[in-house]
Amino acid sequence: MPPDTTQQTPSGLSDHEAALRLRRDGPNELPQDNRRTVLRIMLEVAREPMFQLLCAAGVVYLVLGDVGEALMLLGFVAITITITIVQEKRTENVLAALRDLTSPRALVIRDGERKRIAGREVVRGDLLVLAEGDRVPADARLLTASELQADESLLTGESVPVRKAADAGDRGSSDARPAARPGGDDLPFVFSGSLVVHGHGLAEVTATGGTSEIGRIGRALGAVESERTPLHTQTRRLVRILSLVGLALSAVVVVLYGLLRGDWVGGVLGGITLAMAMLPQEFLLIITVFLAMGAWRMSRQRVLSRRPATIETLGAATVLCTDKTGTLTQNRMSIAELDADGACWTPETGDLPESFHLLVEFGILASEIDPFDPMEKAFHVFGQQHLAGTEHLHERWVLAHAYGLAPELLAMSHVWRAVDRPEHVIAAKGAPEAIADLCHLPPPALAAVRSATERLAGRGMRVLGVARAAFAGDDWPGLQHDFDFEFLGLVALADPLRPTARNAVRECRAAGIKVAMITGDYPATALAIAAQAGIDVTGGAISGDELQAMTDDELRRRVRGATVFARIMPEQKLRIVEAYKANGEVVAMTGDGVNDAPSLKAAHIGIAMGSRGTDVAREASALVLLDDDFGSIVHAVRLGRRIYDNLKKAMAFVFAVHVPIAGLSLIPLLFGWPIVFMPVHIAFLELVIDPVCSIVFEAEPEEAGVMQRPPRDPRRRSSPAG
């Protein structure tokens, strides 16, 4: 049970009032795209020219009383529909399986009692009891807060938790949606989808469902149209042109056949036969088969393809826009550098020297015993790795008192009862300037701390100071300043890169794909992480404020040279993607947070994280990395280029086969010979034999140097057939 957050428990809403608000406002659920129903898929199939020709031929045979031929043609119709429905519904069902099996739970106060309810039942005005480890179910205004920190990375892209403070205003004055946005310290708002990593508090719900910050981003998805793949567009253009030519010739054949021979029914069948012979409908079927096989191959590498057509498009990608937190990085903090008495140590230099043991020891003592905060977890993990078996870990010590963070002093202290010492031991950690203030450092030492802090922060690290003190007796002072602290040094923490990130970026650049990083983090951190990952940072970073002041034309010019975008809001991510598209680029976008969803949907290829990613991000994407491995993107690009190369071979084969088929359909009509091919023969050739023969090309190995050549020109209007 979370600790009490107020001296007197408020009553909250009544169950009756909560039920009325739930009916009025609807459930607290995220907006979702409309699911593709079976009927919708069938209507899409019905618009295909080959489907319509098959149906027309089947109807003609039924009119003539030839039930056997009619049933065979209509059988092809049923097979086409079934294959399409099974393929489309399979990807929808796999995505649905990724959704949480139950809605997140929420602890609320109703009728003066604490009740655990489903997150979808939370309503505006509910009082939420928040504690460490809770997922915030709705946007809310904090009424009380005790050392509360929240991880808002899914909304902002910032990997470091932010501090929260109680609202000093009056209750009942909240608007329908908080005026503040996620990100930044000491704000009195918590947001749906964020995670409480430290402390506890009481909050009044101000917005649920579609009116929350997550919902606002979700609604933006409705205004974004999913981008058609270049292959899909090119192939449909070719099929449309050949269809018009074929239908025009077929109409001429029907008229001439009817006028010259007086056999209008035979003329209709001959016209349908010629149209089917000239219409390269196998192109779409072969593409479906190739991409389905590609989706299967990718699934073996833990990549789910929601829309298989995008696999091929990856082979044409010219720009890969990637998020930082959780995509390039692991979204977990680790100790990257220690600074004590002017000496520095990094994990790459080898074993931890004895001179740094005290710094790590007191950093652990200043952390929670069983932490949830990622930075405090990093201290414990580091201690187990480097101090195990030494006298610097104190499992038998008892926490006697604690001083929490406060806006006026960004430091926290733990007072320990040491079993082997007569006095109490105090460990403090916090912002370097706050720890330096507690230690009353002289000006030269203070200048050295500031210089070291700026050096580490400039490399994108979160820097904490650590200090120690001793105290006799149990009459604790009211302020941390009353202890006689000794400064021990600085600890720099970083969100480490994924192990595959550097190689993936290097391979993308070798393949002619520009890698750009878009993040909500600060410019210094963004540039540091981008440089570590191998992204070109010579163009500097464009901040969200700079981008806001740019026109669309200015942004189009800047994105040609910029690769790092920092402090970017969700709507600005969308503008960046649209600017790249306006420059003629084929854009792939990776992300895992709700703030990534609009840009994921707008990009030619949206790539979401399946393990850590949100439902909204996954539903807006075309590909889902089930193991969140950034390196899997390179495998997908390689596979996409191989698929395109093999498609060209298969379609060239099909195009060559169509020439004699069309000739054998047209020549008998011109010379008055008996018809060689009937519609059922054409259907069998084009829907069975041609795809089966061309499938051999799918297994062809990739071309030499497939990842050392630039992407194909996305503005080229040729299809794989020519």
pLDDT band at 414 (very low <50, low <70, confident <90, very high): very high
What is the pLDDT, as a whole number, of residue 2? 44
Strand partners, 163: 149
Q: Looking at 93-102, 310-319, 409-418, 440-449, which range is the least confident one?
A: 93-102
What is the pLDDT, as a whole number, of residue 64? 58
Is the per-residue pLDDT at 99 higher than 50? Answer: no
Catalytic residue among 151, 323, 437, 690: 323
What is the pLDDT, as a whole number, of residue 232? 62
Is the per-residue pLDDT at 39 higher than 80? Answer: no
- In whole angstroms, what is the distance from residue 548 CA to residue 511 CA? 32
What is the pLDDT, as a whole number, of residue 101? 34
Is the per-residue pLDDT at 547 higher than 90? Answer: yes
Contact between 641 and 702 (Cβ < 8 Å): yes
Give tens-digit pLDDT for 196-244.
Answer: 888 899 999 999 987 888 777 766 655 555 556 666 666 667 767 766 7
What is the rounded average pLDDT for all residues in the chain?
80
Is the per-residue pLDDT at 715 higher than 80? Answer: no
* C-alpha distances in Å from residue 218, one per residue of 96, 194, 263, 571, 592: 17, 16, 60, 11, 14
Name which residue leads in pLDDT, 575 or 169.
575
CATH 2.70.150.10 given to domain 15-29+104-221: yes
Question: Read out DSSP for 179-227?
Answer: SS-S-SSSBSEE-TT-EEEEEEEEEEEEE-GGGSHHHHHHHHHTT-PPP
What is the pLDDT, as a whole number, of residue 30? 64
Is the per-residue pLDDT at 569 higher than 50? Answer: yes
Contact between 694 and 653 (Cβ < 8 Å): yes
Is pTM beyond 0.85? Reply is no
Across 503-512, average pLDDT: 91
Q: What percent of the chain has pLDDT over 90?
A: 30
Give tens-digit pLDDT for 608-663.
Answer: 887 766 666 777 788 888 877 777 888 888 888 888 888 888 878 777 777 777 67
DSSP 101: S
Domain at 45-96+227-296+640-699, CATH homologous superfamily: Calcium-transporting ATPase, transmembrane domain (1.20.1110.10)
What is the pLDDT, as a whole number, of residue 5? 41
Across 169-194, average pLDDT: 68
Report the chain's terminal Cα–Cα distance, integer Å. Answer: 68
Among 467, 539, 536, which Cα is nearest to 506's?
536
Class of the domain covering 302-330+498-637: alpha beta
Is the per-residue pLDDT at 172 higher than 60? Answer: no
Across 34-51, average pLDDT: 67
Cβ atoms < 10 Å from Cβ of 463: 20
Is the per-residue pLDDT at 100 higher than 60? Answer: no
pLDDT band at 382 (very low <50, low <70, confident <90, very high): very high
pLDDT band at 300 (very low <50, low <70, confident <90, very high): confident
Q: Looking at 246-250, 461-465, 473-477, which range is the least confident one?
A: 246-250
**Domain range annotation of the chain:** 15-29+104-221, 45-96+227-296+640-699, 302-330+498-637, 334-494
What is the pLDDT, as a whole number, of residue 114? 92
What is the pLDDT, as a whole number, of residue 7? 43
- In whole angstroms, what is the distance from residue 360 CA to residue 364 CA? 6
CATH 3.40.1110.10 given to domain 334-494: yes
Is the per-residue pLDDT at 487 higher than 70? Answer: yes
Residues 6+ apart with CB under 8 A from 508: 320, 515, 633, 634, 637
Residue 12 falls in which region: left (phi positive, over 0), alpha (psi -120 to 50) or beta? left
Among 509, 470, 597, which Cα is nearest to 193's?
597
Residue 323 catalytic? yes
What is the pLDDT, as a whole number, of residue 278? 64
Is 296 exposed, middle or buried, given 0-12, 13-18 or 19+ CB atoms closer than 10 A? exposed
